[in-house]
Amino acid sequence: MIKIFRSVYSAIFLVSISITFASAKDFKTHEPDAVAGTLRSGSAMQRSQLATELNILAPNFSDPAAQSNAPCVSFDRVDERRLRLRADADNAVIVADSGECDSTYLIVFDKERKSEWGHVQTVRLSARAQHPEVSFAEVVQPGISEVMVHRETTHDSGSAQQENFVVLKLLHNRLVPVLDTVERYELVMPNRPENDADHVEQSQQSTFSVVKADANAGQRTRILEKEVLKERKIRLTLYRYWSWDPELERFRSTAYNGSDVAAGPIAKPPAKSAGAAVQQSKDQQK
Judged on CB neighbours under 10 Å (0-12, 13-18, 19+), 242 is buried
How far is Cα 189 from Cα 211, in angstroms, rounded to an integer?
Answer: 36
**Weakest mean pLDDT among 72-81, 158-167, 192-201, 277-286:** 277-286
How much of the chain, in percent, has pLDDT values that exceed 70? Answer: 74
Max intra-chain CA distance, the chain:
72
67 DSSP assignment: -
Identify the pLDDT of residue 13: 42
pLDDT, one tens digit per residue, over 265-285 is: 565 555 554 455 445 544 544
How far is Cα 96 from Cα 118, in angstroms, rounded to an integer?
Answer: 18
Mean pLDDT of 214-221: 71
Identify the pLDDT of residue 133: 95
Identify the pLDDT of residue 67: 72
pLDDT, one tens digit per residue, over 124-180 is: 998 877 899 999 999 999 999 999 999 998 888 878 899 999 999 999 999 999 999
Instruction: Indicate whether 286 pLDDT > 80.
Output: no
How far is Cα 134 from Cα 149, in angstroms, rounded to an integer?
Answer: 5
Specify whether the CB–CB gap between 77 and 24 falls below 8 A: no
Instruction: Indicate whether 213 pLDDT > 70.
Output: yes
Identify the pLDDT of residue 228: 96
**Weakest mean pLDDT among 39-43, 62-66, 106-110:** 62-66
**Reported pTM:** 0.78
Mean pLDDT of 69-81: 95
pLDDT, one tens digit per residue, over 89-113 is: 999 999 999 999 999 999 999 998 8
How far is Cα 208 from Cα 183, in angstroms, rounded to an integer?
Answer: 9
**Weakest mean pLDDT among 18-22, 210-214, 240-244:** 18-22
Identify the pLDDT of residue 245: 96
